[in-house]
């Protein structure tokens, strides 16, 4: 067998694997290897009928099959035959453009498409004689390899059996001999088949790679072959006859065919008709013969006035043409050559010039490319990152805030886009683009009208800072109005995606070198800075001091208000109004989303803006423009201080911010009128915040009651905050409120949890103690360096005496008591613990100290790694490493970290805010922080691991930890690549399950993971 295969390979350029599916694959591999040693470029075609594409691929990839045999005769009707032409015939007409670098995508195996094979019965037997010509025409117009079997073109009306047939084929003759011994150009349908084969070959050589199939009616199929380079088309219409027509000459209504462009000629029109001969068919004894009483009539390269089948109706502007069928019967075939008109060609050339800016092929004029590139660069150089937030992003709520009554674009039959900016389009187009899904509702919308391009342009023109880009796009989109409508989706996609990519790179180039020169992961996280950072009318910062250092924020000349960028906690839930600016969320995310990307001025404005709202020694939980700020959290002030520390560390000459002026809206706790505001230096505000904590603060929220918080109980509005004189730990809160980030307040009357906080975390929360220690350590350093003037606090004791506490005293108290008060060692080591009976897990750090609900101190939560990252000096390295091991074993999820130990009685890992049942532990999302896996603490956990690894195990353990961290964050990278919001979510349910009530993009989730990569870059 090997010798036979080798001989075959020497003689022929290709071989056929018959019944490949029933051949042992290892046998086929062996024989093909032998054949390819003889002829390396062997064309291998296989008969492979596994009825499964996946199984087909196994054979194709293992054997190196070039083409699979596909049979037109397998189609039971014209509709299926048309589908086969489309499936095996290239890309769709108007297919999307690709840059030089394109992703690998699944594709249909290349076909060798037969009108009939040696295994098939004669089409005359199975269908009708009138179907031979239209069916072979449909095969010939397909954009793939085509084939046939001897006898088809000669109208042989029976199956030619390869085993039992003993007669010979007729020989070729150039003469017009009528002897059965010969066939010639006039025999059967040979003349038309020759013309169709020439057309097929010419289309293949000329790059007509796109196909469109139109099922005109149950018997008529129109196929368009299109060249994406010239935008010329060939349209072939076949009138099939799967059943013998009762009257082949019967006049039947055929819907007119509308074509966009200019029809330059009829390439061919052919018909099979019965002659007047009454001689019955008889098999010749020596030669395989066909029917003689049918003839074809063929015309090639004619004008419409010469056509017997159709007439032309053309629009006055020559944009489209209508073909009317006046005589079109079963067995008829006609093909047209269509070109775009001169106006369309000019518009296409201009569009391609723009597209070439982004790597879509080339155009002839380099001057045009250079001119357009320079113009776009000039426009973009004037854009700021807040401008890019408008251009690329803006969720529906943000868009409506900016332009009331105008939200994101709503695509008919599809729905609203994610973003109003280009990202909203690119999210949908990227999926359509890969699949060439021109039937998508977005493509239909583009073909039907210019609403979407107008929407894109008009929203940019409304903003003075983006108007120039809107004008530029308006001119580009104007060219699309002059091209055939079926081409608009592909050109719109290329322009929008190209511009989006250009602006995305421009965005990164506006950021720090860490981002600009960083990995794709770094850039994907840093783009969250632009997604979530924008200027929102309903969520402004308080007016900053006019005496602040330069630079000052830009000013809206119409309203005379400062245009400061603010940071959304998450989209879309926290996008506008009082819900946008959360003190805690802003400052947890500030380093990752503003400082690391190099947005120093905007970070400074935010720090100073919140500083102006300091009251009771606290930074607002909800800013609400400052005037309506709400002071119901204990931790925001410490995250604010951490952000100032990070600012001074990262920003060149960053310590200068301490001497910056802050416009204090509430210089006294009882200040009510903003007109009473005063300017103070930031360092004075910092000192006041710390002093107030040391002195102790007790207050009731202003306007307490239903209108302020419809869920809070009356006692929850009371706040008491201070510093423990013995340990130095900051404490506060009560069982009626929840002043840390775990701030879920019960709201279900039916379940009875309304007004009850799920996680009060009163006492000394571990992360607040860590943040306080971090601030004190830093301020001591700043004082010693001469940048901060304060090193002690003047306090009044309960008996009216004055005393002083230094920064160092406070710092040392925390350092001395932390391990003793927070570490839970082995049970044998719990002799001095006040409540050893409450210990559920050992080798961990407590979540709080001296909570009202004593058991809450001992719960394993994800908060102590936060303290480890900001104040690692507090922790015994061996204890810290062991505690981090427990976190990895018990709390670590695929994307986030459990907020509560799954062995805890209160654990429930599925958050459902819409749950209106009677179970108080979950009703109305009561378990928000009782098990669901939040992402932002993951960043602090990973940073803590990186810090302590080398302290505990040296370089070997450190290298293992780096590898482990990379494995963990690879999941986040993969998530980012598929996120339609271009972000990481707020949280997931247990084991990484999707949570429908989570923000799909959350500021601190993005920021804290970027901090991990930032830390790793310095390792």
Q: Measured between alpha carbons, how far is 1007 from 898 in angstroms, rounded to an integer? A: 19
**Token reading at 931:** 């098990």
812 in catalytic set: no
119 in catalytic set: yes
Say if residues 213 and 93 touch (Cβ distance below 8 Å).
Answer: no
**Token reading at 1019:** 């390792």
For residue 287, list its beta bridge partners.
168
Say if residues 258 and 321 touch (Cβ distance below 8 Å).
Answer: yes
Q: Measured between alpha carbons, how far is 942 from 887 in angstroms, rounded to an integer? A: 11
Q: Measured between alpha carbons, how far is 45 from 28 in angstroms, rounded to an integer? A: 13
Say if residues 476 and 495 touch (Cβ distance below 8 Å).
Answer: yes
Q: Measured between alpha carbons, how far is 713 from 717 in angstroms, rounded to an integer? A: 7
> Quick count: other Cβ atoms within 10 Å of Cβ 737?
26
The secondary element (H helix, E strand) that includes residue 526 is helix 520-526
For residue 337, list its beta bridge partners.
234, 265
> Quick count: other Cβ atoms within 10 Å of Cβ 1001?
26
Strand, coil or helix: 542: coil
CA nearest neighbour of 433 among 495, 371, 485: 495
> Could you tell me the sign of the dihedral formed by the alpha carbons of 48, 54, 55, 58, in that order?
positive
Q: Measured between alpha carbons, how far is 241 from 127 in angstroms, rounded to an integer? A: 7
Q: Measured between alpha carbons, how far is 338 from 504 in angstroms, rounded to an integer? A: 39
CA nearest neighbour of 507 among 541, 477, 531: 531
Say if residues 434 and 103 touch (Cβ distance below 8 Å).
Answer: yes
Long-range contacts of residues 783-786, Cβ cutoff 8 Å, at least 24 apart: 783/807, 785/655
> Quick count: other Cβ atoms within 10 Å of Cβ 989?
21
704: Cβ–Cβ under 8 A, 6 or more apart, which residues?
Answer: 712, 714, 717
Q: Measured between alpha carbons, how far is 1019 from 962 in angstroms, rounded to an integer? A: 9
Give me the catalytic one of 21, 79, 573, 655.
Answer: 21
440 in catalytic set: no
Q: How many CA atoms lie within 13 A of 384 on its CB side?
A: 15
Return the CA Rg of the chain: 38
Give me the catalytic one of 77, 79, 119, 450.
Answer: 119
Strand, coil or helix: 895: coil
Q: Measured between alpha carbons, how far is 335 from 268 in angstroms, rounded to an integer? A: 5
CA nearest neighbour of 118 among 140, 77, 148, 138: 148
Given the DSSP bridges, would you call strands 287-288 and 168-169 parallel, antiparallel or unpaired?
A: parallel
The secondary element (H helix, E strand) that includes residue 1007 is helix 1003-1017
Q: How far apart are the first and last CA of the chain?
A: 63
The secondary element (H helix, E strand) that includes residue 302 is strand 294-302
Q: Measured between alpha carbons, how far is 873 from 871 in angstroms, rounded to an integer? A: 5
> Quick count: other Cβ atoms within 10 Å of Cβ 172?
11
CA nearest neighbour of 18 among 37, 33, 5, 34: 5
**In terms of residues, how long is the chain?**
1019
Strand, coil or helix: 872: helix
For residue 700, list its beta bridge partners.
718
1013 burial via Cβ count (<10 Å: 0-12, 13-18, 19+): buried
Give me the catalytic one of 18, 343, 410, 431.
Answer: 18
Say if residues 772 and 730 touch (Cβ distance below 8 Å).
Answer: yes
Question: Token match 């990379």: residue?
Answer: 966
The residues annotated with a catalytic role in the active site are 18, 21, 119
């Amino acid at each position: 067998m090997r010798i036979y295969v080798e001989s075959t390979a020497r003689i022929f350029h290709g071989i056929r694997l018959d019944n490949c599916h029933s051949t042992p694959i290892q046998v086929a591999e062996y024989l093909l290897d032998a054949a390819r040693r003889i002829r390396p470029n062997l064309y291998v075609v296989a008969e492979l009928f596994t009825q499964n594409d996946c199984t087909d691929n196994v054979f194709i990839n293992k054997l190196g099959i070039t083409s699979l045999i596909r049979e037109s005769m397998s189609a039971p009707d014209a509709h299926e035959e048309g589908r086969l032409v489309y499936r095996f015939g290239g890309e769709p007409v108007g297919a999307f453009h690709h840059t030089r670098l394109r992703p690998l995508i699944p594709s249909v195996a290349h076909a060798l498409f037969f009108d009939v094979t040696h295994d098939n019965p004669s089409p005359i037997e199975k269908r009708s004689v009138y179907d031979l010509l239209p069916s072979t025409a449909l095969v010939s117009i397909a954009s793939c390899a085509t084939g046939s079997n001897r006898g088809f073109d000669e109208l042989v009306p029976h199956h030619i059996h390869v085993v039992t047939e003993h007669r010979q084929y007729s020989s070729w003759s150039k003469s017009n001999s009528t002897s059965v011994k010969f066939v010639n150009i006039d025999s059967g349908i040979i003349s038309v088949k020759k013309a169709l084969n020439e057309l097929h070959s010419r289309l293949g050589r000329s790059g007509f790679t796109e196909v469109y199939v139109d099922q005109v009616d149950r018997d008529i199929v129109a196929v368009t072959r299109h060249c994406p380079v010239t935008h010329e088309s060939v349209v072939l219409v076949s009138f099939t006859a799967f059943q013998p027509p009762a009257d082949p000459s019967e006049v039947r209504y055929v819907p007119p065919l509308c074509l966009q462009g200019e029809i330059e000629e009829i390439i061919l029109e052919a018909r099979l008709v019965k002659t007047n001969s009454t001689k019955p068919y008889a098999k010749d004894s020596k030669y395989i013969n066909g029917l003689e009483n049918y003839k074809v009539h063929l015309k090639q390269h004619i004008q419409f006035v010469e056509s017997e089948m159709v007439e032309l109706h053309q629009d006055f502007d020559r944009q489209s043409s209508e073909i009317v069928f006046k005589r079109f019967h079963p067995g008829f075939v006609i093909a047209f050559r269509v070109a775009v008109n001169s106006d369309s060609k000019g518009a296409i050339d201009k569009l391609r010039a723009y597209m070439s800016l982004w790597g879509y092929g080339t155009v002839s004029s380099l001057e045009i490319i250079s001119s357009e590139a320079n113009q776009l660069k000039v426009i973009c150089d004037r854009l700021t990152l807040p401008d890019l937030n408008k251009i690329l992003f803006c969720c529906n709520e943000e868009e409506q805030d900016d332009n009331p009554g105008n939200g994101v674009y709503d695509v008919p039959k599809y729905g609203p886009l994610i973003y109003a900016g280009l990202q909203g389009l690119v999210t949908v187009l990227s999926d359509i683009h890969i699949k060439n899904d021109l039937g998508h509702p977005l493509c239909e919308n583009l073909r039907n009208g210019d609403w979407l391009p107008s929407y894109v342009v008009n929203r940019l023109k409304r903003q003075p800072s983006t108007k120039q880009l809107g004008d530029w796009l308006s001119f580009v989109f104007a060219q699309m109005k002059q091209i055939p409508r079926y081409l608009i989706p592909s050109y719109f996609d290329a322009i929008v995606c190209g511009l989006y990519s250009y602006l995305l790179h421009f965005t990164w180039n506006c950021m720090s070198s860490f981002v600009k020169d960083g990995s794709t992961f770094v850039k994907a996280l840093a783009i969250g800075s632009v997604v979530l950072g924008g200027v929102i009318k309903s969520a402004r910062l308080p007016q900053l001091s006019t005496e602040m250092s330069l630079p000052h924020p830009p000013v809206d000349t119409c309203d005379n208000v400062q245009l400061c960028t603010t940071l959304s906690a998450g989209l879309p839930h926290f996008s506008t109004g009082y819900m946008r600016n959360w003190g805690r969320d802003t400052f947890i995310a500030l380093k990752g989303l503003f400082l690391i990307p190099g947005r120093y001025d905007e970070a400074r404005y935010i720090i100073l803006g919140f500083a102006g709202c300091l009251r009771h020694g606290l930074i607002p939980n909800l800013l609400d423009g400052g005037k309506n700020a709400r002071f119901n959290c204990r931790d925001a002030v410490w995250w604010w201080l951490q952000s100032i520390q990070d600012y001074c560390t990262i920003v060149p000459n960053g310590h200068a911010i301490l001497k910056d002026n802050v416009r204090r809206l509430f210089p006294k706790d009882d200040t009510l009128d903003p007109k009473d505001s005063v300017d103070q230096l930031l360092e004075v505000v910092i000192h006041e915040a710390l002093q107030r904590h040391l002195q102790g603060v007790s207050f009731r929220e202003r306007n307490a009651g239903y209108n302020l918080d419809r869920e809070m109980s009356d006692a929850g509005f009371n706040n008491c905050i201070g510093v423990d004189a013995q340990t130095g730990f900051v404490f506060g809160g009560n069982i009626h409120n929840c002043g840390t980030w775990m701030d879920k307040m019960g709201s279900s009357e039916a379940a009875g949890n309304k007004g009850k906080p799920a996680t009060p975390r009163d006492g000394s929360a571990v992360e607040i103690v860590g943040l306080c220690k971090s601030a004190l350590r830093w301020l001591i350093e700043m004082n010693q360096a001469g940048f901060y003037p304060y090193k002690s606090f003047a306090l009044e004791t309960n008996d009216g005496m004055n005393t002083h506490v230094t920064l160092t005293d406070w710092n040392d108290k925390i350092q001395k008591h932390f391990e003793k008060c927070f570490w839970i060692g082995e049970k044998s080591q719990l002799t001095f613990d006040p409540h050893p009976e409450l210990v559920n897990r050992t080798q961990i750090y407590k979540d709080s100290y001296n909570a009202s609900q004593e058991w809450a101190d001992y719960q394993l939560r994800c908060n102590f790694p936060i303290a480890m990252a900001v104040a690692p000096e507090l922790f015994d390295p061996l204890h810290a490493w062991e505690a981090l091991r427990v976190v990895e074993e018990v709390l670590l999820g695929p994307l986030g970290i459990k907020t509560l130990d799954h062995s805890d009685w209160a654990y429930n890992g599925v958050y459902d805010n819409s749950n209106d049942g009677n179970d108080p532990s979950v009703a109305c999302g009561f378990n928000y922080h009782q098990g669901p896996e939040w992402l932002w603490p993951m960043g602090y956990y990973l940073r803590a691991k990186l810090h302590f690894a080398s302290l505990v195990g040296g370089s070997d353990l450190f290298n293992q930890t780096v590898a482990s961290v990379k494995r963990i964050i690879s999941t986040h990278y993969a998530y980012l690549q598929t996120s339609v919001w271009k972000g990481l979510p707020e949280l997931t349910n247990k084991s990484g399950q999707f949570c429908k009530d989570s923000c799909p993009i959350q500021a601190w989730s993005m920021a804290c993971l970027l901090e991990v990569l930032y830390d790793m870059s310095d390792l």
